[in-house]
Amino acid sequence: MKKILFIGIISFLVCSCDVLDEKPQAIAVETFYNTAEEIEAGVNAIYTPLRNNFRDVYPCMLEESSDFVYGGLGSWNPPSLYAGLDANNINRVSDRWNQFYVAIRNANIMIEAIPKAGLASDAEKNKFMGETMFLRALAYFHLVRNWGAIPLRTVENMSEYNVPRTPESEVYELIISDLEYAESTLPATVLITGHPTQWSAKMLLADVYFYLNQYDKAAELSNEVIQSHQYSLVEIETTDDFENLYGATVVNTLEEIFYFKYHEQDGFALALYYHGGGNAGEYIRVPGYNVVINRVDHRPYMEQDDKDLRKGLWYLYTGGLVNEGGLLLKKYNDVTGENPRNSFPLYRYADCLLMYAEASCRVASGPTSAGLEALNMVHRRAYGYPSTQPSPVDFKLSDYNKDSFIELCIKERGYETVGESKRWLDLKRLGKAEAAKYVKQNRGLEMVEKHWLWPLPVSELNFNEAITDQNPGY
């Protein structure tokens, strides 16, 4: 049974369903991946499980754990209580684990296949290889942050059944190596919408160093993205103008560093979790998906300035499972039907500016003028002022020291990226003590140890005999 399951994963890209013992991996590499079109098809297959993960459950699980939203309802409630996951949510995260590893498997197949393909030039091979390594690094980056030590499956061991958990430091070594290669080989400009560039690789690598608290490297890389002048903030004057940034009809903007793209046939389902039936009015009406909510008396919402246009993205909702005073987020609004066409922003220019502001402060042991300006650009835009011009809402350098400026950056990141599933990973970056502080401050809850990492799937423990331990508390 194990052999059948394993081969099923191997043959994900090219199905040789009639003969399971024909080593479909070898068939795929030797007989299929020869032309540029075939290689492109193989690389595109890496996107499918990643898009599947980011379209609904995975970002919702991350957002549930955020102290900047009140949390979830029904079977989705446990992640928002910081007490660990119940059976329903364990199954949800297990499915995400499987999808990430399918993406990694597909990437490994292509890493082996691309050098052997009859492509026109080394440049073409490098481009495909860079994209493949970017996507593999992205998958591993999300796995290691959520599960800790994980099996490291590469080209060298992808046919092995039993692969032990690899220390986190070694997983990060592979991630960094993949991204350094991607950075040097990907194109400088977008060739296909939704595909990475060298700046996407720099931004992802900056985020890796940011998470590892290597703030000097995070500051350097994020500043390179800024100084590239490839990106700018989408200017707004009213809350409704955010539609020009997050709306379903937006193909791309100058703020987009790397997004996952969705369409009506395979819609961005996270929007469904924000907009339910009842009195949702002009927003999407799909009853039973009221999961990620806020409350009018939730501390971060109460403390947010009413003049901050981002606060207007929350709207009062009293239908379904949401109690009186419940707020839903209209950041991803599509009135056309039940399958929203919104893109999911993994990295945008505002992320880069806020990362640089905080990282540069940590490196300099105090706020810098360049870091302050980066923060102010995002803050001005949030109030409807032109992002590149001084405004009445600007923060002043003289008002902050190292600690208070970092606190300000963290708070601004919370407001700016709400609904983009970044806050919980930000808290993890800060460490257990800081994360517990924010959870207590904003939610009034104590965070138990087992909540820090998600449990390894039972299917992995049953299948992989090299793993004998589970994450704490499960």
- For residue 51, CA distances in Å to 55, 58, 152, 261 come to 6, 10, 21, 8
Residue 115 lies in a domain: yes
Asked if 235 and 311 sit in the same domain, the reply is: no
Asked if 94 and 143 sit in the same domain, the reply is: yes
Residue 65 lies in a domain: no
Residue 400 lies in a domain: yes
pLDDT confidence of residue 320: 56
Residue 265 lies in a domain: no
Residue 102 lies in a domain: yes
Asked if 152 and 223 sit in the same domain, the reply is: no
CA distance 389 to 164: 53
Asked if 79 and 165 sit in the same domain, the reply is: yes
Asked if 37 and 114 sit in the same domain, the reply is: yes
Residue 56 lies in a domain: no
Query: How would you class 38 by CB atoms within 10 Å of its CB: exposed for 0-12, middle for 13-18, buried for 19 or more?
Result: middle
Instruction: Write down the residue that tokens 């708070």 correspond to.
Output: 411
CB 307 within 8 A of CB 383: yes
CB 405 within 8 A of CB 366: yes
Residue 336 lies in a domain: no
Q: Which domain holds residue 288?
A: 270-329
CATH of the domain at 6: 1.25.40.890
Q: Give buried/exposed letters for 126-136 (b at 16+ CB in 10 A, else e).
A: bbbbbbbbbbb
CA distance 180 to 205: 8
CATH of the domain at 372: 1.25.40.900
Residue type, 149: A
Asked if 110 and 249 sit in the same domain, the reply is: no
Asked if 100 and 164 sit in the same domain, the reply is: yes
Bridge partners, residue 254, by sequence: none
Residue 308 lies in a domain: yes
Asked if 216 and 181 sit in the same domain, the reply is: no
Asked if 4 and 104 sit in the same domain, the reply is: yes
Q: Output the CA torsion 444→450→456→461 (10° steps).
A: -150
When divided into structural domains, the chain yields a total of 3
Instruction: Write down the residue that tokens 């109030």 correspond to.
Output: 383
In this prediction the pTM is 0.91
DSSP E strand stretches across 301-380: 314-317, 326-329, 344-348
Asked if 282 and 221 sit in the same domain, the reply is: no
Per-residue pLDDT of the chain (474 residues; tens, 9 = 90+): 333 333 333 333 433 333 333 333 433 455 578 888 999 999 999 999 999 999 989 998 999 899 999 887 788 889 999 999 999 999 999 999 999 999 999 999 999 999 988 877 888 899 999 999 999 999 999 999 999 999 999 999 999 989 999 999 999 999 999 999 999 999 999 988 999 999 999 999 999 999 999 999 999 999 999 999 999 999 999 999 999 999 988 999 999 999 999 987 787 777 766 554 444 445 555 544 556 788 899 999 999 999 999 999 998 876 655 555 688 888 888 777 667 789 999 999 999 999 999 999 999 999 999 999 999 999 999 999 999 999 999 999 999 999 999 999 999 999 999 999 999 999 999 999 999 999 999 999 999 999 999 999 999 999 999 999 999 999
Asked if 320 and 401 sit in the same domain, the reply is: no
- For residue 428, CA distances in Å to 50, 58, 209, 435 come to 22, 16, 14, 6
- Count, residues in the chain: 474
Asked if 396 and 310 sit in the same domain, the reply is: no
